[in-house]
Chain A
């Protein structure tokens, strides 16, 4: 593609070459997967010319197995080309970590609630696995408690963002009235809390 080169004047032979390459990619059903990092992979020593000369092409079938595959353009270190890394996640992320939110700690009655719950758990065994099991039970209880106190934070956040997006859209078409602008400010401040 023309935008993959900088500092090179387009000749008709190059246009033909680009068409040939695009045709090659299309015929074989390859996907030029998305790039993370720099746009170009090759830099001329004097800095006048950059190009995307290196890339991974992946078949459609492979993309269904290796989900969310992306190519990561590395920093240029030992060559005038950058190293590329193709990565995807078939990997398991492992057990989810035990998380707390600062906002929980500010909530009156949080500590008492934890203490009360913790004392109720009856787990037998060696101390390490007792701790592990108790944390598991606590996690489940915390989830219920957090929902009841704070609601579902993620979906609230999405709803607010949507409303801001809509107001911005309206603002683009015709300038918002005071009411709309105030509403948007309010939404932004809510987002700060969320």
Chain B
């Protein structure tokens, strides 16, 4: 399993996208998890360009009008999507890793800065873990 993760602080122009697609291809990533994309919407084409491939799946969480937005993408050749759960500060993707022949869950987490929301997130994720 190979996962690339980055708090990108806005996808901005082409430089960041080029950096990401270079990294994803160099590492042969199965998953790409981004936090703070500062985008309220995504499209297939945008994701394909980010990864440099069309054979990918993605789930976006737009946060609050783009603030605290995050996205998880995966390579369909490596991972078979089953379902997903999105909540405040996380995206969980449930599926099957083809090479390892195992069911697995990949959770992209972006915790809030304040302790109250953090505790809530920890509780939510603990419950989620117990149910999977």
CA distance A20 to B15 in the complex (A): 37
Give A169 Cβ to nearest chain B Cβ, in Å.
Answer: 40
Give B24 Cβ to nearest chain A Cβ, in Å.
Answer: 10
> Given A62-B104, A66-B100, A78-B15: A20 and B118 within 8 A (CB)?
yes
Give A97 Cβ to nearest chain B Cβ, in Å.
Answer: 20
Q: Quick check: A53 and B7 within 8 Å, CB to CB?
A: yes
Query: Does A81 reach chain B (CB closer than 8 Å)?
Result: yes
Q: Which of A83-91, A118-126, A140-148, A180-188 contacts B (4 or more CB under 8 A)?
A: A83-91
Q: Quick check: A84 and B5 within 8 Å, CB to CB?
A: yes
Chain A contact patch, size range: 20 to 34
Q: Quick check: B5 and A78 within 8 Å, CB to CB?
A: no
Give A122 Cβ to nearest chain B Cβ, in Å.
Answer: 40
Q: Quick check: B126 and A27 within 8 Å, CB to CB?
A: yes
Q: Quick check: A88 and B5 within 8 Å, CB to CB?
A: no
CA distance A66 to B126 in the complex (A): 22
Give B35 Cβ to nearest chain A Cβ, in Å.
Answer: 8
Chain A residue numbers with a CB within 8 Å of B6 are 54, 78-79, 81-84
Query: Does B49 reach chain A (CB closer than 8 Å)?
Result: no
Chain B residue numbers with a CB within 8 Å of A78 are 6, 8, 12, 15-16, 19-20
Chain B contact patch, size range: 20 to 34
Total residue contacts A-B, CB cutoff 8 A: 79
Q: Which residue of A lies closest to B6 (CB)?
A: A83
> Given A66-B100, A78-B16, A90-B100: A83 and B122 within 8 A (CB)?
no
Query: Does B119 reach chain A (CB closer than 8 Å)?
Result: yes
Q: Quick check: B5 and A54 within 8 Å, CB to CB?
A: yes
Query: Does B4 reach chain A (CB closer than 8 Å)?
Result: yes
New A-B contacts (17) at CB < 8 Å, excluding given A20-B119, A28-B126, A78-B19: A17-B115, A21-B118, A24-B126, A56-B5, A59-B129, A66-B100, A69-B1, A78-B8, A78-B20, A83-B5, A84-B5, A85-B3, A85-B4, A85-B23, A86-B4, A88-B1, A90-B100
Pairs A–B under 8 Å by Cβ, sample size 19: A13-B115, A20-B115, A20-B119, A20-B122, A21-B118, A56-B3, A66-B1, A78-B15, A78-B19, A78-B20, A79-B8, A79-B16, A81-B9, A82-B6, A83-B4, A84-B5, A85-B3, A85-B4, A86-B1
Instruction: Enumerate chain B interface residues (CB-CB to A < 8 A).
Output: 1-9, 12, 15-16, 19-20, 23, 27, 29, 99-100, 102, 104, 115, 118-119, 122, 125-126, 129
